[in-house]
Structure 1
Amino acid sequence: MFEMIMVIVCQALGTAGAASDACIAGDFPGAGRELKKAAGIMKFLAEDQLPKWISRGTNVEDKELPVEASVGICDSFKTLFLAVGQQMAIATVLVKPGIPNYTLVAKLCLGVAENLETFVNTIRSKAALQKEKIDPNFFTLITFQIGLHNALCLYFGARGIWEGKDKYGIAIVMLRYVPVSYHPGIYNSCDHVWFVYFPPTSFSIKQNSLV
């Protein structure tokens, strides 16, 4: 049964790889669909196949298995693939001609941040042993992504309010907290320049004004 599980794992990782290729090619909707498939495969492993294998009993210790052959890793990467898939949805909205729905983008960014936080919490609680085998720089990237998407949520939320032509004060207050959300240590006053780059469009926040 181990061989069958590894085949399914490879299918999930291959599907995620196809999503990466689609993203590089600029096909963000296609990438999102592939990531959703990969998440579904990981969920199937975590909730069905791996528990069945474990229930049959095995003499192999967890530390001797590939990290992807564990319930915790499959469960956590299911959430990670969903988060990246939601990033593809954000990119899809931003590349469309015209003014995007900033409120929608803000909600999507918040969803990405929440999914990434769930990923980290799940891998810490359910796959602590396997986590030690993964490059720590990967988790540094995830932490960066969480802060970035929390900041983008505030930024796009402020843009949505600003486009409404009222409640400018609320928009400005939200902008004040963008650098804090991104990195608490870099925020000293509201008079500095702070730039966020989010491909394929760049945005800047300068002197508490929307540019």
Structure 2
Amino acid sequence: MSFRLLLVFKTVLLSLLFLNFVAWSAPVFAENAKIMVYGDSLSAAYGIPQQQGWASLLQKKLDAERYQYQVVNTSISGETTSGGVSRIQHALDQTKPNIIILELGANDGLRGLPIPEMTANLNTIIQQSKKSGAKILLVGMRIPPNYGPRYTTNFSQSYVNLSQKHNIPLVPFMLDNIAAKANLIQDDGLHPNAIAQPLVLDNIWPHLKQLLKK
């Protein structure tokens, strides 16, 4: 075999090996580099186009800052923590996330459901998520004062307690500087409008960034 043919053969061989490596490694990376948003209507872009929701804006921010993550939004409008428990294992099996943004509890609070029950449900979701190997960012919520000081205080404190118990980061209140401003809330008085979505992301991003790897 001539030197030229030998050189061509080696070049082709190395190219094939490189392509095989890319084909083998890329799916593995894609499978592991996922952020699952697991929430209710506040994360499901209720009442606005999906691309304007904070979860979609999160994907754009990750891309812009060159973080190699895919955002998978599994949020369902009207979801309670009980519903979250019932579908968490399926969501974990289907998505295989390495980070989970857990945003549930608002509907429990608005319905006046028992806080110990809500806390137990969130605790189960966190335990199953950690068992899968995923990191968790817990998103805290507050409810209107007309539910009474005892209920509202215990409600928001439950998120702090879970964060401390499981040693996971906490967003104290995802609607901070949003909930009390009429120009940032939809006509239903509950859901942030499209203008507010970047502000929601601003409340979440500093806490999420602690879990990200480039």
Determine if the TM-score, normalized by the shorter chain, exceeds 0.5. Answer: no
After TM superposition, the score normalised by the length of structure 1 is: 0.28
User: Which structure carries more relative contact order (alpha carbon 8 Å, separation 6+)?
Assistant: 2
